[in-house]
Structure 1
Amino acid sequence: MSQDQKRPFRVVVVGAGIVGLSLSHCLQLAGIDHVVLEKHDKVVSVQGAALIIWPQVARIFDQFGILKRIHETTVPVCRERRRWPDGTINHTGKTVQTMSKNFDMPSIIFDRQRCVEHLYDGLPDKSYVRTSAKVDRVEHTESGIRVVTTDGRVEEGDIVIGSDGVHSTIRQQMWDHAAKDDPSAVPETDKNCFSTDFGGLFGVSDLTEDLKLLDSESNVTFGHGHTEMLFTQPGKAYWAIIFKDDHHKPPVRRDGSEQAMEALVEQYGDVPLTDHIKLKQLWKQRSRAGLLNIEEGMLEKWHSGRFVLVGDSAHKASLTYHLPLCLVIHTDPPKMTADLGLGANIAIEGAVTLCNILNRETKSDKHRHFTTAELSALFTEYQAARYVRAKAFTDLSGKATRMNSYQTYFGRFMTGYVAPWLAPIQLRKLSEAFAKGPKLDYVPTRTINEDAPGWKLGEKKEAEGASAVKYLVAAAAGGVAVSYLLMQRVEGRAWRFGMTF
């Protein structure tokens, strides 16, 4: 028996963030040998503030066995408001609350860092995760790969999965290897597909009584060249301002120093997040904050050789909480918003899809090894299953951010006046899309009710879909007409729309 036949199929995952830890859960549940390499000295997420977990990923977390604990440590959203640039209320919505009702489960909004902690603490075996393991290079052997870390340690395996974010080391390693082995394997456009037009200042502040906020509410504020978000959980306020910045392609690293953040607060400090809270007030009460570029883009090819990418290393969406409802029409799968954290949700879906394929191919023989041609077929199957859905989120999230930050007159009109009229349609389309999300096909769910009405929407017939499109078009036309008439009666508030009537 050869050495290859003696060793099991093994996966090397790079990056122990939300996606990398989700991969470890999936692989452990499948009984697939692996290691997760994390460059930092501990498993922690410091990028961004709050995160919403939508029903399809809550179902996956239930399969991981961590959903019950998450529900025990979070409070469901009880109030959702969209606001004009002056902080007054544009619309009181029920997106998150409706999802909770449709899928018969409490909504989840919490700190991204807490999400990472739940994923890590809930791992069946934490020994699969190696910290202080920064990748130096990936070498190809006759039948696999060798991942060498900067401290000289080596991890061998059959494939390497890059879940190391938008500034992925593994993506670059993949490109470098393809350039030597098969230059045509990676589209040249992929090497310059990411760009930035927006920056984001994120923070977490103490939820004090003077803020007059509920224990769990969401606020999204439109603005001229910026848009704000404010979410709460007991004792904490999670906030962000997304602002228009210079265009960079490829992206350049942003100065995230305290001085740079102070300069932004000086510029945007009087921007309202509600009718009584301004950014500078939350800044003074912050416990932590960060300044980031909001990268956008998507690769045409997510794999090459024994490399495959999952999450932000392959597709990166802009960040927005509210999608103007006019964008959620007649698409299957629907083109939906990248609501807060929906990029993370879609990335976790990708991890599940890939692991379903790996489990299918190895469940009868854990010592099975694959040629690069066989792996290419499997990775092509994975990308094909994910590409349309991921691209829809990536493209539409950018449009939503631009509408909420008033980049065009049309966007201002649609997000401020038409969107509220289409809320029932958006909620149904979102429910349908969430219901179609993947789950692990080799382990059962544990606590959720998959007979809830929301899950049934993913099974709707094509005829129903066509009927919904006709209703959507009629509703959109009616909404525009009614909105126009209403606008004629609010000339005194026309400044909000940014136009003169």
Structure 2
Amino acid sequence: MSNNSSFRVIIIGAGVAGLIASHCLQKAGIDHVVLERRAEIAPAEGASIAIYPHLMRILHQIGVLEEAKRACVPCDRFVFRRPDGKVIMNNGFFHHVKENHGHDIVPLERRQFLQILYDNLPDKGYIRTGCAAKEITQFVSGVEVKLSDGTVEIGDLIIGCDGVHSMTRSAMWEHANKTSPGLITAKEKTSMKTDWKCLIGMGPAEPGLGERDMNVVHNTKYSFLTLTQPDRVFFFVFFRLSKSSSWPQKKRYSDADAEELAASVASHPLSETTVFGEIWKKRQRGALISLEEGVLEHWHNGRIVLAGDSVHKITPNIALGGNSAIESAVSLSRPSLATLNQVFTAYQTERHGRMKHIMNFSRLITDVQAWCSPFHQFLATWVLPLQPDRALANQFGEMIRGVPKLAFVEAGDFVSGKFEWKHENWKVSLKRPNGQSDTGLSRILQLMSTVMVIAVVIFAAQHINPLLIV
């Protein structure tokens, strides 16, 4: 790994976000390492990932879009159904999204997507597997991460992409309360709530569910969602919990738990001709997981910044602005702690308010899908079917068109539809004292652009999918 910069980033977690981060940082020429506790990059877990047009633009910039598109076919029908499987409405959402943005929404298996991202890395030497982060120490001049294999990684900052049960977040909290006692309160630590659990999985194609369809089946306090491809079906069953829980409680479900819950809804229709038990019986894999949600107040401290589920576990927020807050950063080859704080504060400021709004919207969506009250049932069965067919796609339009791209990588000839890309001509402006090199400032602006894109990718790939659309 050859780099001209002494600045080094440590990324904890080699999921979708960590791998995208490595692509971005390699494009920027920034030294880094991605640490993954698992032995393999693409384990046989999870279900699907929906690639929306804005994520396609980022994948286009890093050179993996065409391979990802070859691995699946676009979504076609979006069908809402009653508990008996009969159709409430058939919405043209996917077709309208393509008209609005010039690109389809395409679903593919999460494991397959991870493998594509890894296989297309310019240099795989930046990725370390089988080495869990065990201890993080911050210094005035840098950070140190001790790993499970006994080795130590040293760098200038840490990006925590290690999920809702983030070890990086715990280390950040510990450091914050040493340097600023009382900053991280018990209220904030317990602000991520778990009100839902979900059966997820995939199996072979089921004729009664279509070849390119998304089906949402409403029920009371639970709902089904299936997403189909010609050769497979992805499934999700959302169950409202009778009692809410929060951190540090961490509910783990066994295979027996999944079997018991699946059996309780096995006879429930997914369409006019198919019941859930049919796809569960033929599943290639399936699991029962907790669904947490919440937005933390502090997204960074010292040389640690959090991204994705470690700091905001909700439906997507991709309305990110520019990086003007850091344009006056000083020209340094290795940014000081004060400079990093300025960068991370800008990142948090850009996203926090919007994230709170989206979290509340997410709760409403989930409640409507599962008919959590007569009011939610009324919305689902009477109000939504009367909305104009393209209303939902247009609602998503501003959110999709407004996302950032990598400011330091040419987007090329990436088409748009009726909605122009908001940041198509976005360029990072560098302001520096006369006579000083802008190399260091360029590095930190590239890093900031990358952090913003990582945040977008985490949402787009892990949350902005048909699961949470009403």
Deviation of 1:19 after TM superposition, in Å, equals: 1.1
Look up the match of 2:144: 146
Q: 1:298-377, aligned counterparts within 5 Å?
A: 298-317=295-314, 338=315, 343=316, 346=317, 368-377=333-342
Q: TM-score, normalised by structure 2?
A: 0.84
Looking at structure 2, the residues matched to 284 and 426 of structure 1 have their Cα atoms a distance apart, in angstroms, of 34
Q: Secondary structure at the match of 1:244?
A: strand
- Return the offset for 1:401: 0.6
The worse-fitting range, judged by mean Cα deviation, of 308-317 and 17-26 is 17-26
Query: Match for 2:231: what amino acid?
Result: G
Deviations 1:431-451 (A, max 9, x none): 11110111111111245214x
| Residue of structure 1 equivalent to 2:230 | 234
State the distance in 2 between where 1:359 and 1:108 align: 36
CA contact (8 A) 2:209 2:274 kept: no
1:254 paired with 2:251, answer yes
- The DSSP-based 3-state class of the residue aligned with 1:264 is helix
- What CA distance in whole angstroms lies between the structure 1 residues aligned with 2:217 and 2:329? 48
* Deviation at residue 163 of structure 1 after TM alignment: 0.4
The percent identity for this pair of structures is 32
Once residues 60 and 189 of structure 1 are traced to their aligned partners in structure 2, the CA distance between those partners, rounded to angstroms, is 36
Map 1:144-183 onto structure 2 (within 5 A): 144-183=142-181
Where do 1:366-405 residues align within 5 Å? 368-405=333-370
Distance 2:219 2:44 in 1: 26
- The whole-number CA distance in structure 2 between the counterparts of 1:255 and 1:188 is 23
State the Cα distance separating 1:353 from its structure 2 match.
7.8
Within a 5 Å distance, the mapping from 1:53-132 to structure 2 comes to: 53-132=51-130
Per-residue deviation, 1:67: 0.9
Quick check: 1:135–1:150 contact (8 Å CA) kept in 2? yes
Contact 2:202 2:234 in 1 (8 A): yes
Question: 1:9, 1:158 within 8 Å by CA — same for their partners in 2?
Answer: yes
2:455 corresponding residue in structure 1: none
* Cα deviation digits, residues 316-342 of structure 1 (max 9, x gap): 01xxxxxxxxxxxxxxxxxxxx3xxxx
CA contact (8 A) 1:431 1:457 kept: no
1:305 is matched by which residue type in structure 2?
Answer: G
Give the CA deviation at 1:458.
8.5
Question: Of 382, 395, 399, which residue of structure 2 is paired with 1:429?
Answer: 395
Q: Deviations over 1:201-220 (max 9, x none)?
A: 00101115xx3343211101
Deviation by residue 1:32-57 (Cα, 9 ceiling, x = unmatched): 11000000001125553122121111
Residue 39 of structure 2 is matched in structure 1 by 41
How far apart, in 1, do the equivalents of 2:213 and 2:21 lie? 31
Aligned partners of 1:7, 1:139: CA distance in 2, in Å?
22
CA deviations over 1:129-165 (Å, ceiling 9, x no partner): 1000100101123410011101111111010110000
Gaps of 5+ in 1: 1-5, 318-337, 460-501
The answer (yes or no) to whether the contact 1:196–1:251 under 8 Å persists in 2 is: no
**Corresponding position: 1:409 with 2:409:** no
Equivalent pair of 1:65/1:446 in contact (CA under 8 Å): no
Alpha carbons of structure 1 residues 201 and 147: separation in structure 2 relative to 1, 3 Å:
same
SS in 2 for 1:286: coil
Kept in 2: contact 1:215–1:232 (CA 8 A): yes
After superposing the two structures, state which structure 1 stretch, 112-121 or 87-96, moved more. Answer: 112-121
**TM-score scaled by length of structure 1:** 0.79
1:204 paired residue number:
202
The amino acid across from 1:389 in the alignment is R
User: Is the aligned partner of 1:217 residue 2:213?
Assistant: yes
> SS of 2:420's equivalent?
helix
- Structure number with higher helix proportion: 1
Structure 1 CA distance for aligned equivalents of residues 96 and 27 of structure 2 = 32
What's the RMSD between the two structures over aligned residues? 2.5
SS of residue matched to 1:216: coil
For residue 7 of structure 1, report the CA deviation from its aligned partner: 6.5
Deviates more, 1:286-295 or 1:417-426: 417-426
State the SS of the aligned residue for 2:74: coil
Q: What amino acid is the match of 2:94?
A: V
> By how many angstroms is 1:229 displaced?
0.4
| Structure 2 CA distance for partners of 1:149 and 1:458, relative to 1, 3 Å | closer
User: Which residue number corresponds to residue 437 of structure 2?
Assistant: none
Report the AA paired with residue 256 of structure 1: Y
Matches within 5 A, 1:266-305: 266-305=263-302
1:426 CA displacement: 2.7
Secondary structure of the structure 2 residue equivalent to 1:373 = helix
Q: Does the CA contact (< 8 Å) of 1:80 and 1:92 recur in 2?
A: yes
Sort the Cα spacing of 1:457 and 1:174 in 2 relative to 1 into closer, same or farther, 3 A: closer
Question: Using the alignment, how far apart are the partners of 2:189 and 2:385 within structure 1?
Answer: 39
Kindly report structure 1 stretches of 4+ aligned residues shifted beyond 4 Å. Answer: 356-362, 456-459
2:414 to 422, 438, 448: 448
Cα distance between partner residues in 2 of 1:151 and 1:279: 44
| Whole-Å separation in 2 of the counterparts to 1:50 and 1:353 | 30
Tell me the amino acid that sits aligned with residue 393 of structure 2.
Answer: L
Q: Deviations over 1:417-470 (max 9, x none)?
A: 1112224333222111110111111111245214x32226899xxxxxxxxxxx
Which position in structure 1 is the counterpart of 2:428? none
Q: 1:240 to 1:358 in 2, by over 3 A?
A: farther
* Unmatched 5+ stretches in structure 2: 425-470
